[in-house]
């Protein structure tokens, strides 16, 4: 996922043609101070006339953007180091006016990151013939929301900006949606429905091929059989807000471990089947 600009489990995002300064993304290029030798410093350049102390006025900068200047890392390239939006819907940027299918984010928006082509953790797992799945809660709702005509208001993506919006889907937390291998016009995806308001945060396969997911809103662990699409829910003993999960495949049946953010406990689930 893009946290401070870096997709989790993926390579550092950049511009394959190294042309950010000649692309719609140009307004997102950060302006940094340089040392005497012309090397960039990890320090934003103050805006003209800005006061030197935050005690005198709120800090003002020439440009605090989402993209490094060229050659900041010494390789002559531009890289995204803050939140950019995926090129595919659901995205924080609506489709372009000429996109009749509403599949893509507007490429002329300065914060739309071009589709990435670097190897991901999914490619590494494929190379080792390890099965894996990319799971995203509320994906169907967000996808329908992202594929609205450009001028229509949204009700699921970044929902707090919309009165009565739900479920506050975060498109910049969907790592594989930034990669060309997952172009919605060419790739096939299988989507699985989960119980309402599940909002899974992490999901793991077990040795039987079932998927276990922690949930953030229902205090339930969900087990999904991807062969049938059927789910089983396990109610936690108290308020949890689960995040990272672990499936222990050394036991029969498998056991599931999860931390409880709200109750200072570790919970172990032992299914009966």
> What are the extents of the domains in the chain?
200-269
pLDDT, position 4: 36
Roughly how many angstroms between the first and final C-alpha of the chain, as a whole number? 34
Instruction: Report the pLDDT averaged over residues 222-238.
Output: 88
Instruction: Report the pLDDT averaged over residues 188-217.
Output: 80
- Range scoring the smallest mean pLDDT among 46-55, 59-68, 133-142: 133-142
pLDDT, position 219: 82
Tell me the two tokens of residue 213: 């997911």
pLDDT, position 207: 85
Contact 90, 104 (CB under 8 A): no
Instruction: Report the pLDDT averaged over residues 107-114.
Output: 92
Percent of the chain topping pLDDT 70: 91
Percent of the chain topping pLDDT 90: 32
- CATH 2.30.30 describes domain 200-269: no
Which residue did the predictor score with more confidence, 272 or 234? Answer: 234
- Angle made by CA atoms 87, 143, 134, in degrees to the nearest 5: 75
- Give per-residue burial for 212-245: e unless 16+ CB within 10 Å, then b: bbbbbebbbbbbbeeeeeebeebebeeebbbeeb
Contact 106, 150 (CB under 8 A): yes
Per the prediction, the chain carries an average pLDDT of 84
pTM of the model: 0.64
Contact 242, 221 (CB under 8 A): yes
The answer for 170, left when phi > 0, alpha when psi is -120 to 50, beta otherwise, is beta
If pLDDT is split at 50, 70 and 90, which confidence band does 7 have?
very low
How many residues does this entry show for the chain? 273
pLDDT, position 177: 93
If pLDDT is split at 50, 70 and 90, which confidence band does 153 have?
confident
Mean pLDDT comparison of 40-49, 207-216, 243-252, highest-scoring range: 40-49
pLDDT, position 194: 83
Does the pLDDT value for residue 106 go beyond 70? yes
- Give per-residue burial for 126-145: e unless 16+ CB within 10 Å, then b: eeeeeeeeebbbbbebbbeb
If pLDDT is split at 50, 70 and 90, which confidence band does 2 have?
very low
In angstroms, the CA 52 to CA 2 distance is 32
Strand order in the sheet with 200-205: 200-205, 211-215, 220-224, 231-235
pLDDT, position 161: 59
pLDDT, position 166: 66
In angstroms, the CA 113 to CA 178 distance is 7
pLDDT, position 32: 95
| Model confidence pLDDT, tens digit, residues 119-150 | 888 888 877 777 788 878 888 889 999 999 99
pLDDT, position 185: 79
Tell me the two tokens of residue 272: 């009966």
Instruction: Report the pLDDT averaged over residues 148-171.
Output: 81
- Angle made by CA atoms 164, 173, 147, in degrees to the nearest 5: 55
């Amino acid at each position: 996922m893009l946290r401070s600009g870096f997709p989790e489990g993926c390579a550092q995002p950049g511009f394959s043609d190294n042309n950010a300064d000649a692309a719609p993304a140009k307004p997102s290029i950060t302006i940094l101070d340089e040392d005497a030798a012309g090397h960039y410093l990890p320090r934003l350049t103050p805006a003209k006339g800005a006061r030197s102390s935050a005690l005198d006025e709120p800090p003002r900068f020439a440009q605090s953007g989402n993209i490094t200047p060229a050659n900041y890392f010494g390789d002559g390239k531009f890289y995204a180091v803050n939140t950019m939006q995926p090129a595919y819907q659901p995205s924080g940027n609506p489709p372009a006016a000429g996109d009749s299918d509403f599949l893509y984010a507007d490429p002329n928006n300065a914060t739309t990151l071009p589709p990435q082509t670097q190897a991901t953790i999914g490619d590494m797992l494929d190379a080792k013939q390890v099965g894996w799945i990319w799971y995203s809660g509320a994906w169907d709702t967000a996808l329908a929301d992202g594929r609205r005509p450009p001028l229509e208001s949204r009700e699921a993506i970044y929902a707090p900006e919309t009165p009565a919006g739900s479920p506050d889907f975060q498109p910049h937390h969907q790592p594989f949606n930034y990669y060309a291998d997952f172009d919605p016009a060419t790739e096939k995806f299988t989507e699985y429905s989960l119980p309402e308001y599940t909002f899974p945060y992490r999901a793991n396969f077990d040795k039987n091929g079932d998927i276990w997911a922690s949930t953030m809103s229902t205090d339930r662990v969900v087990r999904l059989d991807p062969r049938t699409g059927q789910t089983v829910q396990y109610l936690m003993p108290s308020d949890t807000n689960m995040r990272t999960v672990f499936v222990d495949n050394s036991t029969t049946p498998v056991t599931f471990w999860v931390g409880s953010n709200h109750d200072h406990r570790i919970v172990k689930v032992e299914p009966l089947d």
